[in-house]
Amino acid sequence: MSIHIEATQGQIADKILLPGDPLRAKFIAENFLENAQCFNKIRGMLGYTGTYKGEKVSVMGTGMGMPSISIYAHELIVDYGVKKLIRVGTAGSIDPDVHVRELVLAQAAATNSNIIRNDFPEYDFPQIADFDLLDKAYHIAKDLGLTTHVGSVLSSDVFYSNMPERNMKLGTLGVKAIEMEAAALYYLAAQYHVQALGIMTISDSVVNPEEDTTAQERQTTFTDMMTVGLETLIR
């Protein structure tokens, strides 16, 4: 048992999906996993372990932002031996060619956070996905006929930005979308030599705001990324 996760050893699989919303974790457990058992309720951050196509798989919420995902991912890796971690969450498009409900695979994550810079102030240390997971996820998504974009995202510390034009400028430089967790997850994966990937569904668009989805849709209907994430974990 770690500080923020009440599971005992063996209750968590070595491969896990990490949605930000704990209710999305519950949705995945109830709709995709067989014989799912809840292993965590501390702070309402629900976690479950079950089987997917006969493989033991876990899913757990991480909350919003890099400090929150850093706590849970660190404990999952260090205290429970998780080796494959895939974030499945939402993101906002800043690329006019990336539309709502399409998938983005975060090949790399730029960030305005100081979490990494505090450790390496003299470097712009690149945060990149595990290539094996990225390659598998891309081909799985394409085989399913899903519109899928591969590229950089921005992991931001700020949701309500006072300078959104800066973020939009990144879109002209090839950054696909804004989210709030991938860079921290990739940094932890690099530290502990485990595999990590971010799979995001576009839930809203800075450049095409008329496409935005509702909170209820974001919570329960973005099932394509869940399928891609689970299939990637077991291959």
pLDDT, tens digit (0-9, with 9 covering 90-100), for 22-44:
999 999 999 999 999 999 999 99
Domain count for the chain, please give it.
Answer: 1
CA 182 to chain centre: 6
217 domain-assigned = yes
179 labelled as ligand-binding?
A: yes
CATH of the domain at 58: 3.40.50.1580
The verdict on whether residue 235 carries a ligand-binding annotation is: no
Asked whether residue 166 is marked as a ligand-binding residue, the answer is no
Report if residue 209 sits inside a domain.
yes
Q: Is residue 155 part of a domain?
A: yes
Dihedral angle of Cα 98, 102, 108, 109, to the nearest 10 degrees: 80
Whether 9 is in a domain gets the answer no
Residue 10 in domain: no
Residue 24 covered by a domain? yes
Domain that holds residue 136: 15-234
Helix axes 131-143, 223-234, angle to 10 degrees: 130
pLDDT tens for each residue of 170-222: 999 999 999 999 999 999 999 999 999 999 999 998 888 887 777 776 656 68
Which pLDDT score, from 0 to 100, does residue 161 have? 85
Q: Is 20 annotated as a binding residue?
A: yes
| Residues involved in catalysis | 204
125: in domain: yes
Report pLDDT for 213. 73
> Is 51 contained in some domain?
yes
Q: What angle do CA 57, 190, 178 make, to 5 degrees?
A: 80
User: Mean pLDDT across the stretch 128-152?
Assistant: 97
